[in-house]
Structure 1
Amino acid sequence: MPQSTSVSPRSPGSVAIIGAGIVGMSAAHFLSRAGWQVTVFDSGVVASGATGSADGAVSVASKKPGPLMTLAVAAVRFYERLAETGVLADEFMSRSTFMVAAQPDELDVLESQSAQLEAADVPVRLLKGRALAETVGAAAPAALAAVEVQGEGHAVGYRVVERLRRLGGFTIRRNCRILGLHHAGGRVDGVVTEQGIESFDAVLLAAGLGSMAFLAGPDLIRPRKGQLIVTDRADRDAPRFPGPLMSCRYLVSKGSHPAGNVTEARSLGLVIDPLRTGQFLIGGSREDRDDKDVADADVIASLLRDAVALSPSLAHLRVIRVFAGVRAATRDGMPIVGRVGGADNVWVATGFEGDGICLGPLMGHLCQQMICGQQPEHDISALDAGRFGLTLAEAA
């Protein structure tokens, strides 16, 4: 259900969006279509942050039960709508995800997550015995059971952002660092760049970790690094993968299952994703670090060992690339989306961690609705910045 907070329509004006990732660029697209004059600022280039180093999963399967899972269901449907209307034609691929239990202690995790998905009206299919062998047996012969999560998808983050850039309707200011927000008469009336003050009627903070530079509040967002592996192409006679294989251990590492409520600075899960090119994307780690330019041999070796244990055919492939990204993670695992306390014309959308690609376009649309003074069509009250007492930082 939509939020029950009172709203009043706001006439289109000028809006500064800080951050050219998938959330900021989606908001720019929808705001420009609503008649706003939009300028997107980024200290680097488009999709140079977490968006450009993501796995592309548009998936409900791994989401924590509750508001995040509910929003993810809506986000997948929103991707489908954007693809059907041509906005993201050929950029979104529908597919199923296969959650796999390969150890006896993972069966409870599989059963629990499957039940939660069913409760959220996500179509799932339990695979055991012959059905398991026929569907994932060749790809994961050691699997004890699996659940097919239907109606999921895949979208490459930087390609989505590039499509929105090409559709145009807004200005992008690359390599333009925002020094602060400018206050006048008790409200924000612009942003401060190295060239001076630029006036705007509204501001959206969508810069991931960088958003916190403009906010005052507790230390609630931290960098979380993830390392990923890309292989070369498999031979045509290699075992067929029906879709991405998600080890139940991944659910634990992400915290989607109660057993995953841990505080270790590093956790490893496992997703094996067959790409359109015939290659495989293997991930990933969750590390409380921000050194995105460094790949760790021990982490990569551990991921590869686990991948080959689940899917032995991968042993014949070569690793051709390893990369890492750093995401903004909140202390409660939920994004921060909504109006910033103490400012009637500043909004924030950050803290998506590994869910930004899935939620990005929908969150951009909901930000557009809020900035236009409309009721968001989905309930995002659980994401509100007020739960952390966030306010604006002192004026620049």
Structure 2
Amino acid sequence: MDVAADVVIVGAGIVGAACARSLARAGARVIVLDRGAAAAATSAHGEGNLLVSDKGPGPELELAQESLRRWAALAEELPDELGPQFPSIEHEAKGGLVVVASESGLDGLRRFAGTQRAAGVEALEVTAGEARELEPDLAPGVLGGVHYPQDAQVQPVAAAEALLASARRAGAVVRTGVEVTGALQGANGRLTGVSTTQGDFPAGAVVVAAGPWSAEVAERLGSRIPVLPRRGMVLVTTPMPQRIRHKVYDGDYFAATQSAGAELQTSAVIESTRGGTVLIGSSREQVGFDDRLRAEVLAQMARRAIAVFPFLAETNVMRSYLGFRPYVPDHLPVIGPDPDRDGLWFATGHEGAGVGLAPATGDLLAAVMLGLEAAVEPAPYAVGRPTLRGHAPGPIGEARL
């Protein structure tokens, strides 16, 4: 089936949805393609975190700060636009609390928080007593921490579906069950659309927003992108009266997010949901797309969570699940045009921060693509940036004419 569009977006997760909304509302004719269901892969296997607490000064924090502002606005805009019959995105400014149980850890956290405050983050140092005022069930060994009032959360699937619904209202078309198999190419070598299992989709530009599968899609379109899957697991308890008020994690979480190693990294990340369950993470490891749950990883996460909230030792686990994050070696998303493949664009590589960074990513991509003013400087997220030297994409083979 041949459908003309200004932009084809490959991937109907939350990043692809945000790109579709921003582009469509700016007047572009947009088609979103996904080989599965919308928001059914990485977006469906996360916790919906909107965080500044885990980001040091720099481009990712700037993108997160812009996205926090955008999410707060979207929490008001989307219900007005979509009506009361559409599910809530469950935006909640619950705040975050990072806790530590050693003096050295406390000193390091204080220094880190100081750099964040200089970059505009609300990072409030708390004593052990103040931490327990925020979270009365903390372990006795907690010596203090930092409270981050700006941290928030959304329900990721509902949020992605709402962004897609908004994009549809602006004229975007969403097609699921459609797998991209190759590139359409003009006489000058420019990418002019995609071939799929459901026919050809000509377009003025193609955006790869396929999360951890972006490298596979890029290769099919004649390019390379250094995105790898990084597996993470989550434990879910049975429902209980809410005893955890914030997103709470230990001081090792930031180091785990910034690790470049393929080996297993775990930290305690604990929060309650509106349904009364408690979500317990987190783990990170590079094992390709191996989707087997590992009991030893779940046990390690459970032990770390109990060290923060001892009452969890008496709580039943209802289920566990895993997902894959799109990892990039320099820990920054890739947003912008492929320098070697005219017509090809990327919005990927957000690792575990895709939900939080989605609105600003969509706005930035649309601004660069359409020549509009961008809210953040695009250069740090460029595909050919110096920090990806040696990993940068490049053309491979020849695409189909």
TM-score by length of 1: 0.89
Q: Is the Cα contact below 8 Å between 2:271 and 2:279 reproduced in 1?
A: yes
SS at 1:379 equivalent:
coil
User: What is the distance in 1 between the residues matched to 2:129 and 2:27?
Assistant: 56
**Cα-to-partner distance string for 1:191-228 (whole Å, 9 max, x where unaligned):** 11134432111211111233223256677322100000
Can you give the 5+ residue segments of structure 1 that lack an aligned partner in the other structure?
A: 1-11, 256-260
User: What is the distance in 2 between the residues matched to 1:84 and 1:242?
Assistant: 23
Q: Show the counterpart of 1:61.
A: 53
| Change beyond 3 A, Cα 1:328–1:279 | same
**Cα-to-partner distance string for 1:344-374 (whole Å, 9 max, x where unaligned):** 4321111111110110121012112222222
Confirm whether residue 233 of structure 1 aligns to residue 233 of structure 2: no
CA displacement at 1:48 relative to structure 2: 2.0
Confirm whether residue 118 of structure 1 aligns to residue 117 of structure 2: yes
User: What is the distance in 1 between the residues matched to 2:128 and 2:376?
Assistant: 40
SS at 2:57 equivalent:
coil
User: What is the distance in 2 between the residues matched to 1:352 and 1:94?
Assistant: 21
Q: Show the counterpart of 1:258.
A: none
Q: Show the counterpart of 1:192.
A: 195
User: What is the distance in 2 between the residues matched to 1:181 and 1:121?
Assistant: 43
Q: Show the counterpart of 2:83.
A: none
Confirm whether residue 395 of structure 1 aligns to residue 399 of structure 2: yes
Q: Is the Cα contact below 8 Å between 2:269 and 2:282 reproduced in 1?
A: yes
| Change beyond 3 A, Cα 1:122–1:318 | same
Can you give the 5+ residue segments of structure 2 that lack an aligned partner in the other structure?
A: 81-87
**Which letter maps to 1:208?**
G
CA displacement at 1:292 relative to structure 2: 5.4
Q: Is the Cα contact below 8 Å between 1:22 and 1:161 reproduced in 2?
A: yes
Which of 362, 371, 375 pairs up with 1:377? 375
Q: How does 1:256-295 map to 2 (within 5 A)?
A: 261=259, 263-291=261-289, 293-295=291-293
**Cα-to-partner distance string for 1:269-293 (whole Å, 9 max, x where unaligned):** 1111111122110001001013453
Q: How does 1:359-374 map to 2 (within 5 A)?
A: 359-374=357-372
**Which letter maps to 2:230?**
R
User: What is the distance in 1 between the residues matched to 2:184 and 2:75?
Assistant: 38
CA displacement at 1:377 relative to structure 2: 1.9
SS at 1:277 equivalent:
coil
**Which letter maps to 2:161?**
E
CA displacement at 1:309 relative to structure 2: 1.7
Which of 333, 345, 348 pairs up with 1:347? 345
**Which letter maps to 2:184?**
H
| Change beyond 3 A, Cα 1:292–1:274 | farther
Q: How many pairs does the alignment contain? A: 377
Aligned CA RMSD, in angstroms, stands at 2.1
**Cα-to-partner distance string for 1:260-313 (whole Å, 9 max, x where unaligned):** x56251111111111112211000100101345321111111111111121011
Q: Show the counterpart of 1:180.
A: 182
Identity %: 30
User: What is the distance in 2 between the residues matched to 1:57 and 1:77?
Assistant: 14
Q: Is the Cα contact below 8 Å between 1:338 and 1:383 reproduced in 2?
A: yes
**Which letter maps to 1:73?**
Q
Q: Is the Cα contact below 8 Å between 1:230 and 1:319 reproduced in 2?
A: yes
Confirm whether residue 224 of structure 1 aligns to residue 226 of structure 2: no
